Chains A and B, each alone.
Chain A
C-alpha cells in the first residue's frame, strides 16, 4: 500500500516533465494550416464528398488533426506546414476521388446504357432486315403477279393472233379454192371455147371443103339454089337407070354436103335427049332421078328432103341435032335450096 501513497507526487512530476517537453506556449498562426483547415471544413459540408469519398475525407481530417496537434505542441513551422500541405493534398485527393467515383458511376451507367442500346440496335437491325426481307418478298410477289398477268396477256394475245391467223388462213384457203374453182371453170370454159372454136374451125374447113367440092362439081348459084349438072354419060350406061360405080365419088360428095347442111332441101331433075319416044324418055329421066335419090339415101340423106322429077327431053340445054348437044342434054340436075324451103318446080 505504500506506493499508493506516493503516487500523487509521481504524477505531478511526470506532468511537469510533459509540459516542458511539449513547449506548451501559444503557437504562432500557420497560413498553410489555416488554408487546410478551411478547405477541409468546406469539404466536410459537401454531401457529395461525404457520400463518395468518406474515407479520403477522413484521412484528410486525420492529417489535419495531426498538423493541429504538432502546431499546438509548438513544432517547427516547416514541419507544421508540411503536415498542413499533406492534409491539403489529402483533401485534394478526396475531391479527385469523389470526381473519379462519380465519373466511374457515370461510366458504368453509360456502359449499361450502351449495352442496352447495342441490344436495341441489334434488335432494330434485325427488325429492319426482317422488314426489308418482307419488302423484298412483297415486291417479288408483286413482280411475280405482274409477270403472271403479263404472261396471261401474252398468251391471250398469242391465242388471239393464232385464231386470227387461222381465220385468215381459212379465208386464204377459201379464196384459193374459189380461185382454183374459177380457174378450173375458166380453163373449162376456155377449153370449151377452144373446142368450140376448133369445131367451128373444123366445120368452116369442112364447109369450105364442101364448098370446094361443090365448086369441083361445078355447082352454079341460081335463084332456085345451087344447081349441079351431072352428065348422064358419067352416071349411067346407055339406056340404063342404075348409077355407075365410077360416079360414086360425085354422089358421095353431094351426100356429104347435104349431111352437112341438113336444113337444105333437094330437087333432083332428070333429062334426056330427044332420041326415042317421049313417054319412054320421061320415064327414063324419072327413073334416073330416082336412082340418084336412092344413091343419096344410101349415103344417109333423109329421103323426105329429096324431091324428084323426070322431064324427059324437055328443057334442053343444047341442040339435039349434034352428038355433043345431045350429050349435054342427057343429064341430071341436082338443085339444093339456099334455105329450108323446098326447091320450086320449073315454070
Chain B
C-alpha cells in the first residue's frame, strides 16, 4: 500500500481541482428546487400564511424566480434562488411556529387565569356554603 500512495495523491488533487473549478457543464438544480417547494409547503402547513405572511411571500417569490431561471436555463441562478427560497421558507415556518406558540401562550394564560378565578370562586362559594350550613 505504501508504494501506491505517491500515485494516488496526484490523482486526488486533480479531482479536487476539477470539482473546485466547477467549470464543467452545469445541470438543472432539480434537487434544490424540490427542497424549496417542499419547504414552502411546510411553511404553509405551519400557518405561515397567517403568522409570517412577509417571509412566506418572499420565499414564494424566490421560488418563482428560481423556476423562471431554470426555464431560462440559467442554472446557477436557479440553484441559488432555490436555496434562498428554501431557507426563507424554513425561516417563515419557524416564525409562524413561534408566533403561533406565542398566541397560544396568551390564550393559555387567559384560560388558565379564568380557570384559576373559577377555582377561587368555587372555593369561596363552597366556604360560604359550609359557613351557611353551620
Q: Taking beta carbons and an 8 Å cutoff, which residues of A are in contact with B?
A: 1, 3-4, 7, 10-11, 14, 17-18, 21-22, 73, 79, 82, 85-86, 89-90, 92-93, 96-97, 99-100, 103-104, 106-107, 110-111, 113-114, 117-118, 120-121, 124-125, 127-128, 130-132, 134-135, 138-139
Whether A14 lies near B130 (C-beta < 8 A) is no
Q: With A7-B6, A107-B108, A110-B108 known to touch, is A99 a contact of B98 (CB < 8 Å)?
A: yes
Which of B20, B97, B133 has the most C-beta atoms of chain A within 10 angstroms of its own C-beta? B133
List the 5 closest A-B pairs by CB distance, nearest first.
A103-B101, A96-B94, A100-B98, A110-B108, A124-B122
Number of A-B contacts (CB under 8 A): 129
Q: Taking beta carbons and an 8 Å cutoff, which residues of B are in contact with A?
A: 3, 6-7, 9-10, 13-14, 16-17, 20-21, 80, 83-84, 87-88, 90-91, 94-95, 97-98, 101-102, 104-105, 108-109, 111-112, 115-116, 118-119, 122-123, 125-126, 129-130, 132-134
Q: Which residues of A contact B9 (CB under 8 A)?
A: 7, 10-11
Q: Which residues of A contact B104 (CB under 8 A)?
A: 103, 107, 110
**Chain A minimum-CB-distance residue to B4:** A3
Main secondary structure of the interface of A (DSSP, over half): helix
Which of B14, B94, B130 has the most C-beta atoms of chain A within 10 angstroms of its own C-beta? B94
Q: Give the complex CA separation of A131 and B97 in angstroms.
A: 45
Q: Which residues of B contact A120 (CB under 8 A)?
A: 115, 119
Q: Which residues of B contact A104 (CB under 8 A)?
A: 97, 101
- B97 to chain A minimum Cβ distance, whole angstroms, is 4
- A12 to chain B minimum Cβ distance, whole angstroms, is 11
Whether A90 lies near B119 (C-beta < 8 A) is no
Q: With A21-B17, A90-B87 known to touch, is A128 a contact of B129 (CB < 8 Å)?
A: yes
